[in-house]
Structure 1
Amino acid sequence: MKKIKFTSVLIALCAITFFSCEKQENPEPLSENSIEQPTVPEDILQKLEQAGFYTNEGVYKYENGYIVEYDIFLTEKEIFEYDKNSETTINSKQYRTTNLVSGAKTIRVYIDPALGSFAINSLNKAISRYNALNLRLTFKRTTNSGSNEIRIIPVNIPGGFLASAGFPSGGNAFKTIKLNTYYYNNTTSRADTPSVLAHEIGHAIGFRHTDYANRSFSCGTGGNEGSAGVGAIHIPGTPTVPVANSWMLACSNGKDRPFIASDRTALVNLYKKITPTTQPVSFYRFFRGGAKGNHYYSTSRSTPSGYAYEGVQCKVFSQQTSGTIPLYRFYNSSAVNHLYKTNRNAVGGYRYEGVAGYIYPSGGSGRIPLYRFYNSTAVDHFYTTNRNEGNSAVGYSYEGVTGYVLR
């Protein structure tokens, strides 16, 4: 069975865009519908060699540019702007780009239904492989073609690449994966479909080919792919020699390739779920006097303009921790009053200002009640862990326990 070359669309720094595509190794003779292959000018070859690309084979004209190493597309302008001083390395390890997806995100993946049920089910398998690792990136298939983070769309290029993708930009996953319906359509059931889709998603979140430094490991031919302007950074904890069956190898034999141990290590290393701190933080109390008195509470010690600092009211959590719930903050600008409650539902006259902190919904070891009082004349909500303080405050009525906090 012929090996298959994987693809990536390389979005480089300085707005230089590199495209690559999954292509069959040892291409069959070109037909009139296939990629034309005129002679590559010597100055183009020299520039590619200076940039670190392997040019002994797999270089040919394509559309308004050139295919390099069988699967990387560059326009002529990009070739002459290419940074020849980009970082390269000769070791074969698991690699990533300098650009990754930032933060904890849900990445919604849309696949065009025209690609057929087999491709859709294959995407479900690819997504489940990522989600099984409990990463800070959660993948979810969506049927909404207009609202998603990754779109998988069909293209038809007889004899061309199998699939293409790209690298993250601006902290977001690469937007578009193209799947060639010449190979993948509603009448085909290729065994490699789940791993091809997982592979392209891998590029979209910042992975280079595992054998980036020596494509011949999986392809039989080829050399170092070069840093391509986006970097090729070794991922700690992954092997220092090529490993068979990685989902990010440059070429495959057409079989499905679920994540192997080093793949899982690489994914967890890059996208380990961020564990919120379990240490409580101070919940500070401030007060604004006058006809429209107002109590204000925050995990920030910075005193708001017009307010007086009244000390630490209690301890809460700045990030959600096991067993806690959000304490939402609302504000009534006409009454100059802040309202804190664990119910997100809006209140008439108040606008939502976000989560003030995280507290417990019930009592437990080390927890104390946070009492709420209200002054209807001043239109002021007052929160305290001292019930007697609230009862003795002139004009305030007890309204119950908002939640439970720490001393």
Structure 2
Amino acid sequence: MGLPSHAPTPAILVLEDGRVFRGDSYGATGETFGEAVFNTGMTGYQETLTDPSYHRQIVTMTAPHIGNTGVNDEDPESSRIWVAGYVVRDPARVPSSWRSRRSLDDELRAQGVVGISGVDTRALTRHLRERGAMRAGISTVETDAEALLARVRASGAMAGAELSGEVSTDAAYVVPARPGPWGEAKRFTVVALDLGIKTMTPARMAERGIEVHVLPATASIEDVLAVEPDGLFFSNGPGDPAATTGQVALLQDALGRGLPYFGICFGNQLFGRALGFGTYKLVYGHRGINQPVMDRTTGKVEVTAHNHGFAVDAPLDRDTETPYGVASVSHVCLNDDVVEGLELRDAAGALRAFSVQYHPEAAAGPHDAAYLFDRFCDLMEGRA
């Protein structure tokens, strides 16, 4: 595979507060808008791009060299790239991996994703850390920064956005259980509400003998109960949890019926709201694969993968009585004390439901938190 034959096109990145970065087009030409965020992972760019949680976000990679292993057909977390735009410093000229099928630049172009390269991503990241995540625009067709800034400020904000319906499946589907050391293939049946689910999540459940029925974000409690599940799962997803009401009501109904529950990321935030806690927007969020989190139920520290711009506002120093049981913070980020997990127990102390803010399926990323899928199995067996 030779060097790219096309000449680079000048591109411009403008932030909502007026900061301007200039570089070269990377991927498709055109213009795009979204919330500017940064990801600290040194690997896993393909999984990041195809994570539906990044819908309507312009992602800056802090690692300076991106695209060196190209793009393959095995690692995507969904059927398409979801980021609104992509910002890199030094893109690989030629991909080098036996698994590579095409370059990242070609894949971005094929899927119409507008990006920019040659940007001082360290300066951009420091700016976002100081000023916070904000709206931004990338353009290869506009050279006037002030004109682009006006369109950035007219674009939609992430706060108040309800986006799970835009990334969810249109129709229900089933991921079959896989045989394991327990003998039979199927141990449990779980309904997974797709709020932006990643491919690896039902795969992690299937390899533990769980038959996963993935339902659209608009599913009702009647749809859930029709499956006769042993447990309910809420996935990761984009948007503001405070703007989501239907799924919260569904979860409250399920908790009232005693259905075991496990949530990841957006599923943690909605669990918090179902329990009566508020949520709030983080200044610049957690996005990367090296975040230290303590499991307060075991005292162990895990290195974890994150992608969230909102968090649950729950007390770290006390339990909270709810209509469904006693709620408490089970996990906390050691960098900034952000709530990273919740659990719900009955009056006797038995676990009824739990969630984490980070990603225990971790592709690409650490596998320290994979035990949480086993905890879900234990919960459904009544042994948690």
- Normalised by the size of structure 2, how large is the TM-score? 0.26
Query: Which structure has greater helix proportion?
Result: 2
User: Of the two, which has the highest radius of gyration?
Assistant: 1
- Normalised by the size of structure 1, how large is the TM-score? 0.25
